Amino acid sequence: MTTEAGIDLKLAGTTATGDFEPEQKRYLEGFAAGLQIAKTAKGLAGSAAGLVGALAAPEPVGPDAAALKAQDRVLKAGGKLSDPEKFKREQHPFDTYERLKGHAAKNEYPKPPDNFRWRFFGLFYVAPNQNSFMCRLRMPNGILSAAQFAGVADLAERYGGGYAHVTTRANLQIREIEAKNAVNMIEAVQDLGLCSRGSGADNIRNVTGTPTAGIDRQELIDTRPFTREWHFHILNDRSLYGLPRKFNVGFDGAGIIPLLEDTNDIGFQAVAVNDGFGLEPGVWFRLCLGGLTGHKSFAGDTGVVVKPADATLVADAVVRVYIDHGDRTDRTKARLKYVLDKMGVEKFIGLMEEKLGRKLDRAVPGALAPRPPFSRTAHLGIHAQKQDGLHWIGVVVPVGRLTVAQMKGLAEIARDMGDGDIRLTVWQNLLLSGVPSEKLEAVQATIEALGLAIETNAIRAGLVACTGNTGCKFAASDTKRHAEEIARWCETRVALDTPVNIHLTGCHHSCAQHFVSEIGLLACKIQETEDGDPIEGYHLLIGGGFGPYAALGRELYRDIKADDTPKTVERVLKTYLAHRESREETFIAFARRHEIDALKAMVELEAAE
């Protein structure tokens, strides 16, 4: 007997004629039926598996749900997640702390997935440039106490390289941290009342605010309460750690020191609302969205104005719409700017209003009073505060680098002769506030004894440089060293009588904001000979600006060898001095008055020493 399964069945005990006994027939029929059932069941199981695979997975819940749903939509549409999105999907970075501790115990550095994840704790493994971690902190409004500043100096000495960098987000970074000290570092930072959580990777970065908040005679509003509220709102809501990319927020209170808030994803600009335009008169924040100058975009005025008390709620809505709609496949197109480009500002605001459950307020023409002007030099030197008899002192920090001894000395000055605050700025320097008139001379002398100064020349006053290739794998040149070389060369050869910002950035990420600088230098590699190694160099841009003068710099030269850059900058500055219409014409106005070819012709004629 042959079954449907193709099996020939012969049992002992058949008759000579081949007939089966009744009991044998019943056995064979049952066996064959069982085989057929098994075959059918196997087919059904395969179909069921396909059906299950086709069905959506259980809907994500919890604080990570929005980010996971956004990733699910990409996958359902047949898209491919970027590697960092895969890393986050496989294991949320905040769930890897025990593994981080295990690596520290063994003095081991991470592989790429964990190198990305541990940036959520503020730790960056910066090999091959430095075989060590960098720790980036966060402090709302860039303000910390003298005790905290001295404490950071202690940590830089104990666990780092004996120095710290002031960043272009009014923050501090400590470098050269061995793997075994990584956990000690971030936990000790918290002991100081500071933190490093979320200061790297796809997170909302250190929130900036007007550095003279609360002491500025012209400010419209003190930004400190609002930066502090946003800071703690972020820290205490895990659902705000599911972004597709980094995110920057700045609060400008209309103080005299510019904040560059229009280079942020969200820029809150304090404005005075006039009476009679349908809004409550007083100070509001204007909402600007989509700043990303490395990708040639300033934060645009949305027309929305926000009551200061509602700023955190509105910022939260912006971030949540971004989490839902940001690109998770292409890292180069994942910032907020690209969401706005794709859907339009009005649709984006509509989605924000859905999150908020209400309409946002709009300012009609004429409703807003002009904002007070900023000063190009108020971040340096002695300036009177709104409090009678008190002053802030801006300290020059060459390319943002401070030694441990300098940090401890500045902390002592703030504690003993100021109000106890250290205020960092986006110009890579710091302010000492609350200094009485009678102590000004003593403070200046003490600062100078530390090897620092409160005044400098017009070239160094606006000199900014990112970390460069000594500590960043993306950088093509040693930006901090080259910035110093430019300053040393030009300050003795060019009698510059007005500040000109010179920003050096090591790569397209534009941490030093080269596009908004009057002279911007973007690092590059130059292949000088066919067989030789590429050498360090720069592309030079001219005429960038921010705030009311916002415009992107235009490329004047490409592929300048780093060794030739100081002389090139010298010629550009001398061209300005020789051809400006008057002493009142700014460098920006001069640069924008001429086409690039005309500027280049003038520079070529200007002989460098």
Are 225 and 178 in contact by the 8 Å Cβ rule? The answer is no
- Which residues neighbour 240 within 8 Å (Cβ) at sequence distance 6 or greater? 204, 233, 234, 316, 319
Give the pLDDT of residue 608: 55
Least confident stretch, 44-53, 126-135, 562-571: 44-53
Q: Which two tokens stand for residue 229?
A: 């509220």
Give the pLDDT of residue 574: 96
Second-level CATH architecture of 220-253+259-362 = 2-Layer Sandwich (3.30)
Q: Which two tokens stand for residue 483?
A: 């910035």
Mean predicted confidence (pLDDT) in 188-210: 98
Are 93 and 120 in contact by the 8 Å Cβ rule? The answer is yes
- Which residues neighbour 296 within 8 Å (Cβ) at sequence distance 6 or greater? 515, 552
φ, ψ of residue 406 to 5 degrees: the values are: -65, -40
Within 13 Å, how many C-alpha atoms sit on residue 265's CB side? 25
Mean predicted confidence (pLDDT) in 404-418: 98
pTM higher than the cut 0.75 = yes
Positive or negative torsion for Cα 13, 15, 17, 23: negative
Output the CA–CA distances (angstroms, integers) from residue 565 to 395, 463, 478, 544, 603, in the order listed. Answer: 27, 14, 12, 18, 13
Mean predicted confidence (pLDDT) in 490-495: 95
Tell me if residue 379 falls in helix, strand or coil.
coil
**Rounded CA separation 242/68 (Å):** 8
Mean predicted confidence (pLDDT) in 308-330: 98
The 10 Å CB-count burial string (b at 16+, else e) for 357-376 is eeebbebeeebbeebeebeb
DSSP 420-484: SEEEE-TTS-EEEEEEEGGGHHHHHHHHHHTT-BS---TTGGGEEE---TTT-TT-SS-HHHHHH
Give the pLDDT of residue 24: 54
Mean predicted confidence (pLDDT) in 312-334: 98
Give the pLDDT of residue 32: 53
Our measurement of the distance from residue 33's CA atom to the centroid of its chain's CA atoms, rounded to an integer in Å, reads 68
Mean predicted confidence (pLDDT) in 171-185: 98
Our measurement of the distance from residue 484's CA atom to the centroid of its chain's CA atoms, rounded to an integer in Å, reads 25
- Find, among 465, 460, 574, the residue nearest to 514 by Cα: 465
Give the pLDDT of residue 100: 98
Mean predicted confidence (pLDDT) in 86-94: 98
Mean predicted confidence (pLDDT) in 382-406: 97
CATH number for the domain formed by residue range(s) 460-605: 3.30.413.10
Are 523 and 475 in contact by the 8 Å Cβ rule? The answer is yes
- Which residues neighbour 54 within 8 Å (Cβ) at sequence distance 6 or greater? none
- Which residues neighbour 384 within 8 Å (Cβ) at sequence distance 6 or greater? 217, 390, 391
Tell me if residue 387 falls in helix, strand or coil.
coil
- Over residues 242-284, the pLDDT tens digits come to 999 999 999 999 999 999 999 999 999 999 999 999 999 999 9
Residues of the chain above pLDDT 90, percent: 85
**Rounded CA separation 132/126 (Å):** 6
2.30.30.180, 3.40.47.10, 1.10.287.3610, 3.30.70.3340: CATH of 381-449: 3.30.70.3340
Q: Is 575 left (phi over 0), alpha (psi -120 to 50) or beta?
A: alpha
Average pLDDT for the chain: 91
Mean predicted confidence (pLDDT) in 201-217: 98
48 has a pLDDT exceeding 50: no
Cis amide leading into 128 (omega within 30): yes
DSSP letter for 247, please. B
- Over residues 463-487, the pLDDT tens digits come to 999 999 998 988 999 999 999 999 9
68 has a pLDDT exceeding 90: yes
Give the pLDDT of residue 486: 96
Give the pLDDT of residue 8: 42
18 has a pLDDT exceeding 80: no
Give the pLDDT of residue 202: 98
- Over residues 109-154, the pLDDT tens digits come to 999 999 999 999 999 999 998 999 999 999 999 999 999 999 999 9
3.30.70.20, 3.40.50.970, 3.30.450.40, 3.90.480.20: CATH of 91-191: 3.90.480.20
**Rounded CA separation 600/606 (Å):** 10
Of 55 and 432, the structure prediction assigns the larger pLDDT to 432
Residues of the chain above pLDDT 70, percent: 90
